[in-house]
Structure 1
């Protein structure tokens, strides 16, 4: 089947047709870098990494752009609190973000624009909006977008301007012509970074950054725009308004949004104390377990972060790796061709990136690999799983790299295995069992076979 994608704007699945043959431009709203990335960021990273992988597997030449917001109210506040420069703060957390995504096997975007490096593009778009009557400078040095100048405002979220206006909070802001108008340029304040502009010293509003960077990198009209569901309004709604009013062209063909991450069925938030960074979770679970967990629910559905669900993910990934455990990496280089497994896997991914169904195909294939011990079917299992970023390691490496409560080194574990082998040779089965039980208590499982004893972390 051809690729079908659910378009948030039209609220239906549509057959994907790129603007230019075989070329796909995709822009995803990235992270505001003032702290470590959390599990909600991880979902957006993993989902769109998987989308890009599948598009490339279909043969498309993809240009993947994911921006970094490196100037923002939260960034300024955190830098002042820390007594450090904004560049130092954002640089540190950009490096941390790259470390986190690499750990989860998230491929780097082709282009990763920084807001602070696109001030000229931002200024140019704001100037165009003013010239066309869609924006106005205020007396205080701010510049605002005139929402009512855009007849189509609200089409992404389905919100009506009259309803928005009647529900708007009364703001003490005499410089805005209308409560719905939003800021494009903020006049500088004390202790804040500022850039020169025709409207005075200041910095851009958040929404205009993405419009300027996306059109700069991909053109005025491109294929796919994505992000978390929380961004659909007002951020993405405002992006559409700014971009189309500035360029006069249709902005994006397909809008994709990820569902929320919940924690034990509650919304994740720092105030509730249920907020988890990626690196905190990586101390407890293997990166592929986290990736599997994030893909086990359809990307448009909410995903519930809980210890139980992560343990299920750990068991599931272990089952897939177990099917490959008896093969060497060299035996898995060739993949069986022309099977129904590959057809069903790709059909699932072509159905709006249905990763839960694609994973179900992987488990059926794993059963067949266990049954037949076929190297080419094992190669196919690895190949298909790799298309969604799973089964990237050798099985033996995976099982030995699980986070555990044990602080034993590999050499120390092997020493105990050797001692146990000697005890068994001497028929000291009490000591043999004691070593096995002591290791198991530390999360180290011993596996005996005619070829000897191996171990894995559980």
Structure 2
């Protein structure tokens, strides 16, 4: 089966065929580093981490670019509030971002460019657009993109110019020829710090947000590349504007496949900082382990809305424990995936259907059931290897199953020994009392012919 991807641009599932056989060039919009990463960032970045993992598992060489926006209005505002240089703030936030992403098993991209390292490339695009009559200067020093001069504006979002009203996520700024026009270069303001402005033919200033991604993607992947991804909230205006300025300057398509992950809801309401109903990754990891959070995100399809709640995280951990229990009971043998093997073939069919992780996860549970029945180390190895395509099941099973215990292992071992002695003495009431005492403290005992083991309760 050929990999099929839902292309936002065509609004249809399409067979995936990269520009260069065997190689994929992929760009995903990254973080604006002014604050701690939240669950929405986790959802988007895990989604595209799975995409690049599956492309690699399918035999492609992947050149994956995920940018960092390290200059914009929010960053400048936060730096001024903190009384610190912009670079100090962004450096600190990047360290925190890497810490959170590493914990979630999100692999580092091939390239992670910072916007401020690509100012010359941005200015070159602005110049090309101005030369082609698609950009114009404003008296105050800004340079704007003339939306109505670019044929096809709205093709990604499916919106016509008549439907795009001023004020719909587009600020109406004085000096625009049209309310829909957007800024390419912002003139420096007296209140803005010196480390957030650069010299240019238009005077001191800084880039608009949209131009950053056009410059970085084209510089690192070429004028046309295979996949462009990001959250559904970026489809309009950010990605629409990327297309307009990139294709306006270069005269060729920016990306062939556009992918957008769904929103995160908090208890069935869209997550939003303005509503105050958002959680940082760090806050979630104080209550739940990173593997559980990743599994919770992976078992939903990337394009579907994701409803976050503690109840759903508890359920995800209980489900993941079932998979780890299979690996704990049957130590996996090292495995190279044979895609003709029935479980592997079924897993591949799911992933090739627009990265259908819910169906792929269902295959893992079927396989875990077979591991429990057959006690096959080969199948256990296949379970672990297929889990690796999703970035799960790579930890030590026993460590995962025992995570969250309120008692130290030495104390638990002592109580298990005391229970064994009570059973040996036929004092079954005492043995049962010890089991219940441990259960009350979140420890589940499991008896088998080879002895008693334990794990933390879900």
| Residues 188, 206 of structure 2: 8 Å contact kept | yes
CA distance 1:191–1:338, shift in 2 (3 Å): closer
2:377 corresponds in structure 1 to: 375
2:162 corresponds in structure 1 to: 162
CA distance in 2, matches of 1:339, 1:143: 58
CA distance in 2, matches of 1:256, 1:144: 27
Greater shift after overlay, 206-215 or 77-86?
77-86
CA distance 1:436–1:86, shift in 2 (3 Å): farther
CA distance in 2, matches of 1:257, 1:82: 34
Q: How far apart are 1:367 and its partner, in Å?
A: 1.4
Secondary structure (helix, strand or coil) at the match of 1:67 reads strand
2:352 corresponds in structure 1 to: 350
| Residues 247, 254 of structure 2: 8 Å contact kept | yes
CA distance in 2, matches of 1:22, 1:77: 44
- What are the ranges of 5 or more consecutive residues in structure 1 without an aligned counterpart? none
CA distance in 1, matches of 2:181, 2:200: 20
Provide Cα deviations, 1:339-379, integer angstroms capped at 9, x if missing partner: 22111110110000001111111111111111111111111
Secondary structure (helix, strand or coil) at the match of 1:323 reads helix
2:292 corresponds in structure 1 to: 289
Greater shift after overlay, 203-212 or 190-199?
190-199
2:27 corresponds in structure 1 to: 27
Query: TM-score when scaled to structure 1?
Result: 0.94
Q: How far apart are 1:140 and its partner, in Å?
A: 0.3
CA distance in 2, matches of 1:334, 1:22: 20
CA distance 1:212–1:451, shift in 2 (3 Å): same
1:252 corresponds in structure 2 to: 255
Q: How far apart are 1:337 and its partner, in Å?
A: 6.5
CA distance in 1, matches of 2:10, 2:337: 39
CA distance in 1, matches of 2:135, 2:174: 16
Provide Cα deviations, 1:21-77, integer angstroms capped at 9, x if missing partner: 111000000111111111110011111010001111111110011001111111111
| Residues 27, 66 of structure 2: 8 Å contact kept | yes
1:386 corresponds in structure 2 to: 388
2:218 corresponds in structure 1 to: 215
Residue from 231, 236, 241 that aligns with 1:238: 241
CA distance in 2, matches of 1:311, 1:106: 22
2:179 matches 1:176: no
Query: TM-score when scaled to structure 2?
Result: 0.94
2:68 corresponds in structure 1 to: 68
2:57 corresponds in structure 1 to: 57
CA distance in 1, matches of 2:272, 2:168: 25
CA distance in 2, matches of 1:169, 1:409: 53
1:123 corresponds in structure 2 to: 123
Secondary structure (helix, strand or coil) at the match of 2:120 reads helix
1:267 corresponds in structure 2 to: 270
Q: How far apart are 1:434 and its partner, in Å?
A: 4.1
| Residues 166, 172 of structure 2: 8 Å contact kept | no
Secondary structure (helix, strand or coil) at the match of 1:110 reads coil
| Residues 331, 380 of structure 2: 8 Å contact kept | no
CA distance in 2, matches of 1:304, 1:171: 30
Q: How far apart are 1:166 and its partner, in Å?
A: 7.0
| Residues 136, 143 of structure 2: 8 Å contact kept | yes
| Residues 336, 379 of structure 1: 8 Å contact kept | no
Residue from 310, 334, 339 that aligns with 1:307: 310
CA distance in 2, matches of 1:415, 1:279: 34
Q: How far apart are 1:159 and its partner, in Å?
A: 0.8
Output aligned runs, 1:394-413, within 5 Å. 394-401=396-403, 403=404, 406=406, 408-413=407-412
CA distance in 1, matches of 2:121, 2:422: 73
CA distance 1:441–1:297, shift in 2 (3 Å): same
| Residues 335, 377 of structure 1: 8 Å contact kept | no
Q: How far apart are 1:314 and its partner, in Å?
A: 1.2
CA distance in 1, matches of 2:68, 2:231: 15
Provide Cα deviations, 1:397-441, integer angstroms capped at 9, x if missing partner: 22123x35x2x3333433443444445455555554444333322
| Residues 335, 376 of structure 1: 8 Å contact kept | no
Secondary structure (helix, strand or coil) at the match of 1:63 reads strand
CA distance in 2, matches of 1:243, 1:32: 21
| Residues 335, 378 of structure 1: 8 Å contact kept | no
CA distance 1:274–1:400, shift in 2 (3 Å): same
- What are the ranges of 5 or more consecutive residues in structure 2 without an aligned counterpart? none
